[in-house]
Amino acid sequence: MKPNLKIGDSIIVRQGVKEPDFEEFELAGWQGKTLEIDADSDKDNVLKREIVR
């Protein structure tokens, strides 16, 4: 399921989401803005975002 987001939308990371490259780090509660959406990706939820703790 693709996210229903637009460029510039604010996001808050949900509980249980881990940093993909370092899974020992939980990102829950971090906030940011959607910078880019890769609509051509074969993966779900491929976003470029700026996350600020």
Whether 4 is covered by a domain: the verdict is no
How far apart are the C-alpha atoms of 22 and 7, rounded to whole Å? 26
Whether 36 is covered by a domain: the verdict is yes
Q: What is the pLDDT of residue 52?
A: 62
Q: What is the pLDDT of residue 45?
A: 54
Whether 14 is covered by a domain: the verdict is yes
Task: Give 39's Cβ-side CA count (13 Å radius).
Answer: 4
Tokens coding 47: 């976003």
State the residue range of the domain holding 16.
10-52
Q: Is the pTM of this model over 0.75?
A: no
Q: What is the pLDDT of residue 4?
A: 79
Whether 28 is covered by a domain: the verdict is yes
Domain count, the chain: 1
Tokens coding 24: 């020992």
> Which pLDDT tens digit goes with each residue over 13-52?
889 988 888 889 898 888 888 888 777 766 655 565 666 6
Whether 5 is covered by a domain: the verdict is no
Predicted confidence (pLDDT) at residue 11 exceeds the cutoff of 70: yes
